[in-house]
Amino acid sequence: MGNDNRKGALYAVLTASMWGFMAIVLKVITSELSPVTVVWFRFAIAFVVLGTWTLIFRRSDFRIFLRPPFLLILTALFLALNYLGFIAGIKYVSPSSSQVFIQIAPVSFALSGIIIFREHVNWRHILGFILVLAGIGLFYSEQLRELTATGEHFTRGMLLVLGGGLSWAVFATLQKSLLTRISPNQLNLFIYGACALALAPLVKFVQLQGMPAAHWYLLIYLGLNTVVAYGSLAMAIKLTEATRVSVIITLNPIITFVTMAILTKMEVSWMDPETFSLLSLFGALMVLGGAITVIYAGWKR
């Protein structure tokens, strides 16, 4: 059990790292393409990559398409809503602020782990979780005070990202139930294929004509990011508790903020600058401290 928990934690760390950079890439790409087009490319590329691997090594996994469980179809729907909500919202808010609101996703998923799956927590886990939440609040407090002054567009972006976050929490909860019956590879293979097929009629392919090579690279990166991040997430959820996975995933906004700080220092022209206070950095340390407390507290079922 201890070895599985360690492996699950490592998979969750990989997922958090991939998602930390994704918000910045999405902000850049949505200046060129519609949200639906970008989301379709992510699912399509992910399906091609995973489908090729499956065709070579686990061909029998394609049987999931013959009689998919209704719960699996519902899971795919909520992941698609998550993708669309987040990327539509990020058009109106910065990468950092989008990471503020999307934190409703892992927090809601952690609550599902305790309420639905009856996962046991002791006082050290609760302390770590409180530190994470308090740190996130402190980390973003000064940023939010300025961002909320931008008016109606910011509010629209906030609601879209929040909706995407809640959709992800439902997706992850359904996924955890499904992983007791089907493999992570089957689950992701079906979800990528079903979402790509469902969104294809809404894609604006005309936008791809004459698109710069750099944007093609970003689209390919987003597709590969989807394969790696969600493959790791599925393994993390299978190997360890929902609460543990949720706490580790809360680290991904820190990666976004650090990257944005570097880009601001470099004064790049393709991204609006952001500044961070010492209070925000202290909040980041609280988040890290809380996550470490939870991970090394000796999890028990």
Domains of the chain, by residue range, sit at 2-295
- The alpha carbon dihedral of 144, 151, 202, 166 has a sign of positive
Q: What local confidence, expressed as pLDDT, does residue 301 receive?
A: 44
> What angle do helix axes 252-266 and 123-147 make, rounded to 10 degrees?
40
pLDDT in tens, 171-200: 988 988 898 888 888 998 999 999 999 999
pLDDT for residue 298? 47
pLDDT tens digits, one per residue of 121-133: 677 777 877 887 7
Q: Is the dihedral of CA 132, 224, 160, 68 positive or negative?
A: negative
Q: What is the pLDDT, as a whole number, of residue 196?
A: 94
φ/ψ of residue 92, rounded to 5: -105, -15
Residues 6+ apart with CB under 8 A from 120: 300, 301
Compute the distance between CA of residue 266 and CA of residue 245 in angstroms, rounded to an integer: 33
pLDDT tens-digit series, residues 193-211: 999 999 999 888 888 888 8
Distance CA 286, CA 135 (A): 5
Instruction: Say yes or no to pLDDT of 79 above 60.
Output: yes
Rounded CA-CA distance 124/191 in Å is 36
- Report if pTM > 0.85: no
